[in-house]
Chains A and B, each alone.
Chain A
Amino acid sequence: MSANLETYFNDVAALLDRSLAAGEIYTCGLDAETSDFVRLNRGKVRQPGTVTQCYLRLHLINGRRHAEQCLTVSGDLAQDRPAIAAALALLRTTIATLSEDPHLSFATDVNPSRVVSTATLPTAEEIVETALAGADGLDLVGIYAGGPVYRGFANSLGQRNWHEVRSFNLQWSLYHRTDKAVKTAYGGFSWEPELFAAKMTAARERLALLARPSRSLKPGRYRAYLTPTAMEEIAGMLCWGGFSGRALETRQSCLFRLKDGAAALDPSVAFVENTADGVAPGFQDEGFTRPDAVPLVRAGQMVGSLVNPRTAREFALVQNGANAGEAPESLDMAPGNLPTADALSALDQGLYIGNLWYLNFSDRPACRLTGMTRFASFWVEEGKIVAPVDVMRFDDSVFRLLGEQLVGLTAERELLVNGDTYRERNVSSMRLPGAVVRDMAFTL
Chain B
Amino acid sequence: MTESLAAVFRQLSCNADFWSLRLTDERSESYAVRKNIPQPPSLLTDRGAMLTVYAGRGSGYAATSDLSPAGLQSALDRATDWARAGARRSLIDFATLPKPAPSGSYASPDADKPGWSQQDWYELLGDESRQAGCDPRIVDWEATVETRSAEHRYLTSEGGDVTQRYRFVMPGMSVTAHADGDTQTRTLNGYRGLAQQGGEDMLERFGFVGSGRRIAGEVLQLLLAPNCPNGTMDVLLLPDQMVLQIHESIGHPLELDRILGDERNFAGTSFVTLDMFGTYRYGSDLLNVCFDPTRPEELASYAFDDDGTRADKAYLIRNGILERPLGGAISQARAGLPGVANSRADNWNRPPIDRMANINLEPGDASLEDMVAGIEHGVLMGTNSSWSIDDSRNKFQFGCEWGQLIEKGKLTTVVKNPNYRGVSANFWRSLARVGNAATVQVLGTPYCGKGEPSQVIRVGHASPACVFTAVDVFGGDAA
Contact = CB atoms under 8 A, between A and B. Distances in A.
A362 interface: yes
A98 B40 CA distance: 8
Given A37-B453, A45-B89, A358 B41 contact: no
Contacts of A374: 390-391
B118 A47 contact: no
11 contacts: A39-B453, A46-B92, A46-B262, A52-B65, A70-B42, A70-B46, A71-B46, A74-B64, A74-B65, A370-B397, A391-B392
Top-3 shortest CB links A-B: A363-B476, A49-B61, A421-B453
B139 A250 contact: yes
A98 B476 contact: no
Contact of A94 (B59, B90, B118, B386): B118
A362 B399 contact: yes
Interface stretch (A12-20, A112-120, A141-149): A141-149
B86 interface: yes
Interface string A173-209: 1010011010100000000000000000000000000
Contacts of B269: 178-179
Interface of B: 37-48, 58-68, 71, 75, 78-79, 82, 85-86, 89-92, 118-119, 139-140, 176, 178, 181-183, 185, 260-262, 264-266, 268-269, 347, 349-351, 353, 386-392, 395, 397, 399, 417, 419, 421, 423, 449, 452-456, 476-477, 479
Nearest to A256: B183
Most buried by A among B91, B268, B423, B455: B91
B397 A66 contact: no
Nearest to A393: B395
Interface stretch (A99-107, A158-166, A408-416, A427-435): A99-107
Interface string A388-414: 000101010100000000000000000
Nearest to A375: B391
A69 B43 CA distance: 4
Given A73-B65, A363-B417, A172 B265 contact: yes
A39 B391 contact: no
Contacts of B476: 362-363, 365-366, 368
A32 B263 CA distance: 26
A293 interface: no
Contact of B89 (A44, A87, A142, A357): A44
Contact of A444 (B45, B58, B82, B397): B397
A76 B390 contact: no
Contacts of A70: 42-46
A251 interface: yes
Interface in A32-79: 35, 37-39, 41-42, 44-55, 66-76, 79
A109 B347 CA distance: 37
Contacts of A51: 62-64, 349-350, 453
Nearest to B47: A72
Given A179-B391, A393-B395, A79 B119 contact: no
Most buried by B among A1, A99, A365, A395: A365
Given A141-B265, A366-B476, A444-B421, A46 B48 contact: no
A143 B185 CA distance: 37
Nearest to A42: B91
Contact of B62 (A49, A102, A145, A181): A49
Given A171-B265, A391-B390, 19 more contacts: A39-B453, A46-B91, A50-B75, A51-B64, A53-B64, A69-B42, A73-B65, A76-B68, A79-B68, A87-B45, A97-B119, A104-B40, A142-B452, A179-B268, A251-B176, A360-B387, A366-B477, A371-B388, A421-B454
Most buried by B among A49, A179, A422: A49
Nearest to B248: A358
B41 A94 contact: yes
B55 to A, nearest CB: 12
B42 A72 contact: no
B172 to A, nearest CB: 15
A50 B46 CA distance: 18
A421 B48 contact: no
Nearest to A38: B86
A69 B41 CA distance: 9
A357 B268 CA distance: 10
A393 B64 contact: no
Contacts of A250: 139-140, 176, 178
B82 A49 contact: yes
A183 B181 contact: no
A358 B85 contact: no
Contacts of A145: 453
Contacts of A101: 37-40
A138 B180 CA distance: 56
A364 B401 CA distance: 12
A362 B419 contact: yes
A108 interface: no
A103 B89 CA distance: 55
Nearest to B352: A47
Nearest to B347: A423
Most buried by A among B41, B42, B453: B453
A443 interface: yes
B176 A252 contact: yes
Given A74-B68, A374-B391, A444-B421, A53 B37 contact: no
A145 B265 CA distance: 14
